[in-house]
Amino acid sequence: METSHASTIVLDVEDWPGHIAGQHVDVRLTAQDGYQAQRSYSIASAPEDSRFALTVERIDDGEVSPYLVGELRVGDTFEVRGPIGGPFSWRVESGGPLLLVGGGSGLVPLMAMARHHAARRSEIDMRLLVSARSWEDVLYHEELSRQVRRDGVDVRFTLTREQPAGWGGFARRIDAEMLSAVGPKPSAKPAIFVCGPTPFVERAANLLVELGHRPQAIRAERFGPTGS
């Protein structure tokens, strides 16, 4: 379990062609009566990782996530189609600087980028801003805390509803001052990736444009319900 409501699932996928950090797959479940349900999930693992992983947040009234998070067992099988997605993906060869802004489970594809950055020992300037309700809701918080200590990486957190004692990070919803503090400056022409619930993504993208970032440099992907 990553949090009380999200789990990372490690899969063996036959003839997997490889992926680019930021891409996703379609997962299809088929019931005994033939009924099918399909949802898209971002790939959490880096392209260099020997494990293929998805991080899934449980949506209580969902058709797919309750099974993946609560019922899936070792040896179970289901259909996976992908990898899918081109614009919302990043390779070290694409260069930087890089600004990643994630709300809730929107962190998943951005984490694949951060892991790719680490696997390649890249020194490209990478800034990551993570928004969640509380520290317990932050996916991968232990791994991200280790990322902070890598050269060229700046990871910041904002907790919008509850902060632990002695909290030194941000404690509000994202705003222009926060995005400006995390940087990089618009003059550096960073590649920007924003992922999360639709209101979060729209607010972040609008604020970034107001700060002077080029609209064409902002790539956005919207996720389903989550806390941020």
- Whole-number average pLDDT of the chain: 91
Per DSSP, helices labelled H in 56-175 are 65-66, 107-119, 141-147
In this prediction, residue 224 carries a pLDDT of 58
pLDDT band at 102 (very low <50, low <70, confident <90, very high): very high
228, pLDDT greater than 50: no
Q: Which of 123, 135, 125 is nearest to 100 (CA)?
A: 125
The predicted pLDDT at position 32 comes to: 84
Peptide bond into 190 cis (omega under 30): no
pTM: 0.92
In the predicted structure, residue 22 carries a pLDDT above the cut 60: yes
Could you give the domains of the chain? Answer: 6-84 (2.40.30.10), 92-223 (3.40.50.80)
Tell me which H or E stretch contains 114.
helix 107-119
pLDDT at residue 149 above 80? no
The number of residues making up the chain comes to 228
Percent over 70 (pLDDT), the chain: 97
Q: Is the pLDDT of residue 36 over 80?
A: yes
Q: What is the pLDDT of residue 226?
A: 41
- pLDDT exceeds 60 at position 93: yes
pLDDT recorded at residue 101: 98
Which residues, including other chains, have CB under 8 Å from residue 64's CB and lie 6 or more apart? 27, 29, 37, 38, 39
- 227: confidence class by pLDDT, cuts 50, 70, 90: very low
